[in-house]
Structure 1
Amino acid sequence: MPAQPNSTDINSRSSLPVHALRPGEIEHFLTDLNETEAAYLRAHDFSGKAASVVLLPSPEGISRAVLGLGDHPGPATFGDLHKKLPNGIDWTLLPGSYDPGEAYLGITLGAYRFDRFRKPDAKLPHISVQNAPDRAKRLAEAVCFARDLVNMPANHLGPAELADAGEALARRHGARSRRIRGAELASGYPALHAVGAGSDRKPEILQFSWGENPSHPLISLCGKGVCFDSGGYDLKPSAAMLRMKKDMGGAAITLGVAQAIMALDLPVRLEVRIGCVENSVSGHAMRPLDVLATRAGLTVEVGNTDAEGRLVLADMLTDAADAKPDWLIDFATLTGAARVALGPELPALFANDDRLADALIASGTAAHDPLWQLPLWHGYESWLHSKIADMNTVAPKPFSGAIVAALFLKRFVPAGIAWAHIDTYAWNDSTTPGKPEGGEAQSLMATVGAIEYLASISVSERS
């Protein structure tokens, strides 16, 4: 279903070289050029500034390109290289003092386009990266897969279609999957079912598992898959609905993480759950002040029908915790409050386990996929009080909405389960190097790296 990255990894005999240089490497490089090329590069005052490009001439037109790395190259250094090289030529990025995996990710993710419903604006140049590791290729595929899902219009990606995409992914990797819907969903996952009851497109859960070695750690992933969020009876204003096709971004990231894990054949056992629903308005939709049952046995008063994502996750977290996973991680476009606190580029991380939080933060920093931890502040627990149910979905106060939402979820994770909740924006508001405007798989690479770390340590170290 999702398109493959536009940037390709080809080996063309006729390709032209791209030399990547740090500032201190320029003078030595000039000695390897012919007199005309060296003079041309000097005339352009090339200093090795990050992402700067000079095309060197030849009698036939262009002989090569020179890319500045700056002092601290990362994926963004390569993220708009496709805009600076002429099309119609195959290019090869030669080895240099940079990480080829980061270069591949920057080039590939920067060249991503969602062209499912239109003709592409322009054909992009082919850029291959010498010595690009397989890991980078698998990560790029996973990110593009997740981006495609987030970018898909809601009329083309409803609950069933989202579950179809996850089921197809599971099938490709030999995972065992099942879909939970109808009466089984209503009785076993009543809060999630209530969220989707207002839509003609019926809610469901896709669940799949992969890996059977009992010595491998068990990773459980849960994703919020609200394919469109109108807000329900607490209707969003029209401007707030413009990006609500992305409210299934948590499920998309969940599936992207799963794809990377399976494609890399990591030594883990994996369980995946995505809650596929649409939050609509109808005579069957949940209402403010309704009291809902949950899989955990707790009753929940609906304080606001637009706080539906936490209900989608609550039943899945309860279910996932039964298997006592080593790590339980959920992903959701859960609160606007997280964006107010941290902006669109920093997903909020909440965790009840320092080791899990530290692994995610360290991996995110290393992968240029940052997370920022916010506290599960126990002082706000009382804000979820309800006079007629075990708890409310929201607080009566206008503060700390992301923390309150995380505290709500925490009540559905039994003590002793290492759990992390990632409140993500899943979107780029504008195009920056390596990050085109549109759907984004924020935290995907951070999570994969953290899971690789867990898989690398012994059983005794995990405990």
Structure 2
Amino acid sequence: MTPEFADTTRNAIPVHMIEEGGQTAWSDDQPPHVQAWVTANGFTGALGSHLLIPGQDGAPMAVLAGYGTAVARARGRFHLAAVAANLPEGTYSIASGLPADQAGVEALGWLLSAYAFDRYKDQQGTKARLVAPQGVDAVRLQAIAAGECLTRDLINTPASDMGPDALEQAVHDLAGAFGASVAVTTGDDLLAQNFPMIHAVGRAAPQEPRLIDMRWGDAGPALTLVGKGVCFDTGGLNLKPGNSMALMKKDMGGAATVLGLAQMIMSLGLSLRLRVLIPAVENSVSSNSFRPGDILTARNGKTVEINNTDAEGRLVLADALALGAEETPDQMISMATLTGAARVAVGPDLAPFYTDDDALAQALSQGAAQAADPVWRMPFWAPYEKMIEPGIADLDNAPAGGFAGSITAALFLRRFAGDTPFTHFDIYGWNPTPAPARPKGGVGQGARALLAALPGVLGL
């Protein structure tokens, strides 16, 4: 399902955005029967409320959409999507009341409200279709919505149907749609090609571990995206309790998000050289599982002491980052559902990111506001470097003590980025409660903010 704007304004029902308390000013210019209808229904413009105004034939002739107050709007996003979800099937157009600087975000929210994960059950999202508001880039918004829907579908699909094989196929499908190339290193070939940590984490699973390498574009600055593709995480020999394992189908959310972002980039034809690296594994339990106390040697030669097999995401990312750094791209960005510590710090709605580039951080913050894709900068805090140095090896994959877990994981990853400008996102990838344009389930985080920020950062 690809969300799209309505292709015609014919018979479109006008939607009037009304701030709370503004219903009287609007209805004063309407015929008496409309004024009476608004009053009789008690419409006040409360955020997310709506009122269908019938014509003489009983069919809707207009919609009033509550736009609330500035204080209420600040507590959420995609407010028009809340209205769209309750409208009858049909075509609608924004007639008045929507600030020009919010038109793009609200139109995107309407598009995303059409999403429903229907692979296993017949269900639908919003049936109401919107005519693209005047002044918005409809092509761009549709590309963003399509990329987000890809991310959601990949995360929502359980590991029974989204193991490393299926994730690889998803990359081939995406590459085929946009003329990209794909190379895959699988199983024991990972050892031969020097990806020892990807192999160690994934070797116990029925489906072989692999490194997926997609390339697109032959001119412009080089951008490498690295996404954690742990298709299911049992925790390995440090087995997770049942409650902690319940959502582990989403542990490939980083891979899903970089693929959604890649689709946006390719669909919009950005002038850059894109590389996507996905270490795809399942962290399983078997007689050949890697063990606590093992010491692994990564692709770049650094040794890593394994103090917890449930801190596996940083291991597979390390080999992929080391590979990416060998070409010294202009920017390398990793995205991963990496630590519970990040959720404790900022909750499920914010995507924390780490970068040493102040200009990129500022661009990300601005892009996040423009795209209604909230992010929050966290520090590569150098004094904590010693926490990831165990003494017996170069690095510790799970420092004791439990403090600063997201920061130490980010510092660990930075050790494999070499001299490449590096940014890391520690995302959640899941919306735990339904919200406008964001049903419960898989969700992209940080991709829209990055899409907005990268042109300025890369000089596109």
TM-score of the aligned structures, taking structure 2 as reference length: 0.92
Structure 1: gaps spanning 5 or more residues: 458-463
Q: Does 1:182 align with 2:187?
A: yes
Comparing 357-366 with 367-376, which one deviates more in the overlay?
A: 357-366
CA distance in 2, matches of 1:123, 1:313: 37
State the Cα deviation string for residues 51-95 of structure 1 (Å, max 9, x = none).
2211112232232111123455685211222332124x4333336
Q: Does 1:357 align with 2:361?
A: yes
Match of 1:39 in 2: 36
Match of 2:378 in 1: 374
Closer, same or farther: CA 52–456 of 1 in aligned 2, 3 Å? farther
CA distance in 1, matches of 2:27, 2:182: 58
Of all paired residues, the percent bearing the same amino acid is: 39
2:333 alignment partner, one of 329, 336, 355: 329
Match of 1:76 in 2: 78
Tell me, yes or no, if the aligned pair for 1:167 and 1:206 is still in contact at 8 Å: no
Tell me, yes or no, if the aligned pair for 1:173 and 1:262 is still in contact at 8 Å: yes
2:212 alignment partner, one of 206, 210, 216: 206
Tell me, yes or no, if the aligned pair for 1:291 and 1:301 is still in contact at 8 Å: yes
Comparing 396-405 with 104-113, which one deviates more in the overlay?
A: 104-113
Q: How does 1:121-270 map to 2 (within 5 A)?
A: 124-131=127-134, 132=136, 133-187=138-192, 188-213=194-219, 216-270=220-274
Q: Does 1:119 align with 2:116?
A: no
Comparing 138-147 with 387-396, which one deviates more in the overlay?
A: 387-396
Tell me, yes or no, if the aligned pair for 2:227 and 2:257 is still in contact at 8 Å: yes
Secondary structure of the corresponding residue to residue 94 of structure 1: strand
Tell me, yes or no, if the aligned pair for 1:220 and 1:325 is still in contact at 8 Å: yes
Secondary structure of the corresponding residue to residue 126 of structure 1: strand
CA distance in 1, matches of 2:88, 2:172: 40
Q: Does 1:11 align with 2:8?
A: yes
Q: Give the CA deviation at 1:16.
A: 2.3
State the Cα deviation string for residues 88-129 of structure 1 (Å, max 9, x = none).
x43333365333322221112123110110122687333443
CA distance in 1, matches of 2:258, 2:239: 27
Closer, same or farther: CA 362–125 of 1 in aligned 2, 3 Å? closer
Closer, same or farther: CA 141–332 of 1 in aligned 2, 3 Å? same
Match of 1:20 in 2: 17
Q: Which amino acid aligns with 1:78?
A: L
Q: Which amino acid aligns with 1:167?
A: H
TM-score of the aligned structures, taking structure 1 as reference length: 0.92
State the Cα deviation string for residues 303-331 of structure 1 (Å, max 9, x = none).
10000000011011111111111111100
State the Cα deviation string for residues 279-306 of structure 1 (Å, max 9, x = none).
0000121111111111111111111000
CA distance in 2, matches of 1:111, 1:444: 19
Tell me, yes or no, if the aligned pair for 1:179 and 1:206 is still in contact at 8 Å: yes
CA distance in 2, matches of 1:414, 1:456: 22
1:448 alignment partner, one of 415, 434, 451: 451
Q: Give the CA deviation at 1:358.
A: 2.0
Q: Which amino acid aligns with 2:201?
A: V
Structure 2: gaps spanning 5 or more residues: none
CA distance in 2, matches of 1:264, 1:32: 43
Tell me, yes or no, if the aligned pair for 2:5 and 2:132 is still in contact at 8 Å: no
State the Cα deviation string for residues 390-416 of structure 1 (Å, max 9, x = none).
22111121111111111111111113x
Secondary structure of the corresponding residue to residue 332 of structure 2: strand
2:417 alignment partner, one of 413, 418, 443: 413
2:312 alignment partner, one of 308, 314, 317: 308
Closer, same or farther: CA 93–356 of 1 in aligned 2, 3 Å? same
Task: Give the CA RMSD over aligned residues.
Answer: 2.1
Match of 2:98 in 1: 97
Tell me, yes or no, if the aligned pair for 1:232 and 1:305 is still in contact at 8 Å: yes
State the Cα deviation string for residues 174-232 of structure 1 (Å, max 9, x = none).
1122111133312321111111011011111111111112xx22111000010000000
Q: Which amino acid aligns with 2:181?
A: R
Secondary structure of the corresponding residue to residue 78 of structure 2: helix
State the Cα deviation string for residues 369-426 of structure 1 (Å, max 9, x = none).
11111111112111122343222111121111111111111111113x2111000000
Structure 1 segments (4+ residues) deviating >6 Å = none
Secondary structure of the corresponding residue to residue 349 of structure 1: strand
In the alignment of these two chains, the number of paired residues is 450
Closer, same or farther: CA 388–246 of 1 in aligned 2, 3 Å? same
Q: Which amino acid aligns with 1:237?
A: P
State the Cα deviation string for residues 18-40 of structure 1 (Å, max 9, x = none).
22234587556435432211221
